[in-house]
Structure 1
Amino acid sequence: MQDLPDIIEAPSPNFDERQLPVSIIVLHYTGMQDAESAIARLRDPEAKVSSHYVVAEDGTILRLVDEEKRAWHAGRSYWRGTTDINSASVGIEIVNPGHEFGYSPFPDEQIASVIQLVHAIKQRHAVTRGNIVGHSDIAPARKQDPGELFPWGKLARLRLALPRPTRGLIDPGWTDGGFLMALNRFGYDVGDQQAAVVAFQRRFRPELVDGMIDAESRMILLALLLPRPQGDD
């Protein structure tokens, strides 16, 4: 693992005090037309949003909020029983126009910095791989980021995210209701059932995000619920 690049301080006033220890890392895309607009909004007291870090396309890392403080990046969200995700997480905004403004692949230099940053935060707070998630995982009814183009496999190969299971897959034959129960057990809020399935597929089967509960989705989810999911990543 390479050394973490120098971090540029760009303080945001949008934070308050944590109520929980850090146990989650949430990855976002900025979803705005350019980096300058996104950074300005994250530092605007009127916007009432922020993140701990922003990673630019060239790999530059900005720190907006100290990790000891509660940044305002997750909104109404849920993961594995936690509802105050802002208190329990470190939020990383990755500069990308997102689905609204011409979603595009993430540059290698940017992902290299994301990997180094996630590694450092994971080590600092002993975050488990299963708690390194996307915004769409914690808020499936509202969010799509970082989206199906985000290279989760690169993080998984470094044990910085769960791998996509690819070996020893077995279809448990769950009903749709059984699948949703298992999805909730894994960590997702399934209040909006369709959105939860889409979010799961966006994360673990990005080549086909159709919201259909099929055999492949059941097999992947079952493998993820086992102690050691086996994947190529």
Structure 2
Amino acid sequence: MSAAFVPDSSIVERVEPSPNFDERTGLARPDMIVLHYTGMQFSHDAIDRLRDTKARVSSHYVVLENGGVVQMVPEAKRAWHAGVSSWNGDADINSRSIGIEICNPGHDFGYPDFPKRQIAAVIMLCRAIFTRNIIRPENVVAHSDVAPSRKQDPGEKFPWKRLAQSGVGLWVEPAPITDSPKLQAGDSGDMVADLQRALIDYGYGVEPTAQYDPLTREAVIAFQRHFRPALVDGLTDASTRETLRKLLVAREFQGTAQNAAKPDAPKPGSGNPLPAAS
């Protein structure tokens, strides 16, 4: 059994120590938050699994359906929540992130809506984490964003817009869905290359092959789950392309505003390679 510790935040209801962690490498402090759902029917089963040494998984926090917050690993430690993953070219997401598991049965068990009080607790927890760590809005991500080939949580029902309205994460209003030409599996060429560059620029771990390969399709699905949840089909229509373009612009605008008082600070991102949808 892992030793008890003092919680990092006053909003923590109780501590359930997990032995499944090690030391962070690289960054002095985490600069990402990764949001998950537990994908299990009962919250106590999820907590038991996150404490099981044989499972070798954990998270820093668990947010219960009633809004209670359980801490399992100190923020200073490296919880084992992201698995094989990538964001902005970094494959050790566990070292640079804080993991939050949100109790929800997930797609395999009916995928119910997230209760309002649970989402309020997630927002409060993230905002508390921000007081201790410098985390840019675009680095509040879904598990599916960093592991699109393996994961789909917290899924298309998760209210990312509500979080962004409360200062957690980055959001733009999705472009309207219309009957437009679509990029899909088997396509290749400059438009696919532009799409891949834009996905890579935002952080997704795709390869610039100019081929609409499985990895590209999976990244598009993850993007749609997060930013265009009304239709998640892995096809890149005008709505998907325009939403991605708007998101890159919003990220650059936020970065420019934050750096206005820091003339020597590096510029965020590498520009916006995706042309506006016509």
TM-score, normalised to structure 1, is 0.91
- 1:152-205: CA deviations, max 9, x gaps? 0111112211112458xxx9x971221112111110012511100100011000
- Residue in structure 2 matching 1:214, options 237, 240, 256: 237
Amino acid at match of 1:42: L
- For 1:135, the equivalent position in structure 2 comes to 143
CA contact (8 A) 2:85 2:146 kept: yes
Distance of 1:78 and 1:207 partners within structure 2:
25
* Of 98, 117, 120, the match for 1:90: 98
1:12-71: CA deviation from partner (whole Å, max 9, x where unpaired): 000000003300000000001111111100000111000000000001110000000000
Shift of 1:224: 1.4
Question: SS at the partner of 2:22?
Answer: strand
For structure 1, the 5+ residue unaligned runs are none
Structure 1 counterpart of 2:31:
23
The one-letter amino acid paired with 1:13 is: P
1:125 aligns with 2:133: yes
What corresponds to 1:53 in structure 2?
61
Question: Which whole-Å CA distance do the structure 2 matches of 1:122 and 1:155 have between them?
Answer: 13
CA deviation after TM superposition for structure 1 residue 106, in Å: 0.3
1:13 aligns with 2:25: no
Tell me how far apart the structure 2 counterparts of residues 6 and 68 of structure 1 sit (CA, whole Å).
16
Equivalence map 1:1-233=2 (5 Å): 5-19=11-25, 20=27, 21-165=29-173, 175-191=191-207, 192-226=215-249, 227-228=252-253
AA aligned to 1:7 is: E
Q: 1: distance between equivalents of 2:228 and 2:53?
A: 38
Q: Distance in 1 between matches of 2:225 and 2:161?
A: 13
- Between 220-229 and 47-56, report the one with greater CA deviation: 220-229
SS of 1:93 mapped into structure 2 = strand
Cα distance in 1 for partners of 2:245, 2:10 equals 35
Q: 1:102-136, CA deviations, whole angstroms, 9 ceiling, x for partnerless residues?
A: 11100011111100001111221010101000000
* Cα offset, 1:81, TM superposition: 2.0
Report % sequence identity: 52
Give the root-mean-square deviation of aligned CA atoms: 1.9
Superimposed CA distance per residue, residues 198-229 of structure 1 (whole angstroms, 9 cap, x where no aligned partner): 00011000010011111111111111111238
Quote the Cα distance in structure 2 between the aligned partners of 1:162 and 1:123. Answer: 18
Q: Which has the higher contact order (CA 8 A, sep 6+)?
A: 1
